[in-house]
Each structure stands twice: as structure tokens, then as C-alpha cells.
Amino acid sequence: MYKLYTRPGSGGFVVEAALAMAGAPFEQVDVPKTEAPDPAFLAISPLNQVPVLTLPDGHSLTESAAICILLAERHPQAGLAPEAGSSARADFLRWMAFMSSVLYPAILRLYYAHRYTVDGEGLQPVKQAAVAEMDRGFAILDRALAGRDWLAGETLSLADIYLVMLVAWHPDIEKARNAWANIERLWARLRQHELMRKLNASHEMWA
Ligand SMILES: N[C@@H](CCC(=O)N[C@@H](CS)C(=O)NCC(=O)O)C(=O)O
């Protein structure tokens, strides 16, 4: 059985969605946020971050996008990602990498600003720049969704759920919903999705 280390309101959201969509049973371990991490957890997550997925063979991995891509590979019948080899799969890989390497780190710069400057007085500019970088990234994804229902291919994929998870972390939700109409259209759809509603009840990602 899979084991998922997660926490409400974290990047574990999209992994829980993937496991549920795949119908894969998993044990859930909620990891408290702490400055004194458990050494056993650090051994599988050296940055003390969630999500971490332990596979049934005992192998563990961090990195939400890698976990999602792997689960899509391991459960092809679940349709978590477009078919391997298709151009939609290329879009899927592109946007998963973009979201995890551009947007997620910008979000971390906002919420963990103290890690990104040695100037204790200088947190505000770091946060301001982080939000500007988030906005640049969301604008690109909004354009990618123009005239499309889904980010990659013609059906829902983990890329759509990943995007909605990230935009829910925007510090100015009203602005996010007004500024990026295509993302808001996707989000409105997912707010009605039974599984997203169920996950949101425990993660409280959006009101
Ligand atoms: N690159 C990682 C980032 C994971 C991450 O930043 N997780 C946050 C929760 S959303 C966390 O555990 N933060 C605690 C910390 O950085 O100390 C991924 O994509 O999974």
C-alpha cells in the first residue's frame, strides 16, 4: 500500500486527489509543521517538506510534480494525465514542470520570506517580488487556458488540479479570480467536482 505524508492545506492536496482518482488505497500520515523535525521524516524528506509518497515497495519520493507524474504512469487506467507519447502529454509535462519550478517556489518565497534574505528588516520586498513572480506565472497559465477547458488535452488531468491548488494559495483571492478569467473558469468547474469538494473539506484551500 502507498503511504502519503501530507498536511491539511499543503501540496499533499493534489497527491491525495491522484490517489483517490486512481482508486489506490493509501495510509495517510499528517506531518505537523515544526522547526524540530523528526529525524525519520528528514531521512525521506531532507527539506522537511510534504508531500512525500512511499511506494508499496518502500521507496520514497518528494516533489509533488514527480509524484503526480509517477502516479499517472503507474495507474494509466485512471486518466490522471494524457496518454504517453501524445502532444497533450507534452503539454502536461511542460505545465507540471512550470508550476512546480516557477510558481510553487514563488509561493514559498512569499510564505517563507525569511529564507530568502539575510536582512531581517527586508522581508517586505521579498514578499512583494514573490507575488509579482506568482502573478507573472499565473498570467502565462491563464493564456494557456484561453479557449480550452483543460490545461493539457481534452479532459481533466492532474495539471488542472495542481493549478487550482496553487491559485488557491494566492494571497489576494479576489484579485486572482478577477485577473485570470480562464483560471477562474477552471476553478469554478473544479469547485463543483465531487472529489475536490471532499478534499477541500479537509484541506480548506478555498471558501
Ligand atoms: N518542491 C516541493 C515543495 C514542497 C513544499 O514546499 N511543501 C510545503 C507545504 S505546501 C512544506 O512542507 N513546507 C514546509 C517547509 O518548507 O518548511 C514539492 O513540489 O513538493
**CATH number of the 87-193 domain:** 1.20.1050.10
Q: What is the pLDDT of residue 35?
A: 82
- Expressed in angstroms and rounded, the spacing between residue 84 Cα and the centre of ligand 1 is 28
Residue holding cell 515544526?
A: 34
Annotated domain spans of the chain: 2-78, 87-193
CATH 3.40.30.10 fits 2-78, yes or no: yes
Determine the residue of 41, 49, 100, 167 to mutate for testing ligand 1's pocket, defined as the one with the most ligand atoms within 8 A of the Cβ atom. Answer: 49
Question: Is the confidence at residue 139, as pLDDT, over 90?
Answer: yes
Q: In this structure, which residue's CA is closest to atom 5 in ligand 1?
A: 49
Query: What is this structure's pTM?
Result: 0.98
Eight-class DSSP state of 100: I
Please answer whether residues 72 and 24 qualify as being in contact, where contact means their C-beta atoms are separated by less than 8 angstroms. Answer: no
Query: What percent of the chain shows pLDDT beyond 90?
Result: 97
Mutation probe of ligand 1 site: the residue of 13, 50, 103 with most atoms within 8 A of C-beta: 50
Q: Is 153 in the pocket of ligand 1 (CB under 6 A)?
A: no
The rounded mean pLDDT for the chain is 97
pLDDT on residue 120: 87
Torsional class of 3: left (φ above 0), alpha (ψ -120 to 50), beta (otherwise) = beta
Other C-beta atoms closer than 10 Å to the C-beta of 29 total 15
Q: Which atom of ligand 1 is nearest to the CA of 49?
A: 12
- Residues 149-201 have pLDDT tens digits of 999 999 999 999 999 999 999 999 999 999 999 999 999 999 999 999 999 99
For ligand 1, the distance from its centroid to the CA atom of residue 104, given in whole angstroms, is 8
Residues 6 or more apart whose CB falls under 8 angstroms from that of 85 comprise: none
Q: Left, alpha or beta for 197 (phi > 0: left; psi -120 to 50: alpha)?
A: alpha
C-alpha 115 – ligand 1 centre gap (Å) = 13
Per-residue pLDDT of 61-100, as tens digits, reads 999 999 999 999 999 999 999 999 999 999 999 999 999 9
Is the predicted pLDDT of residue 34 greater than 90, yes or no?
no
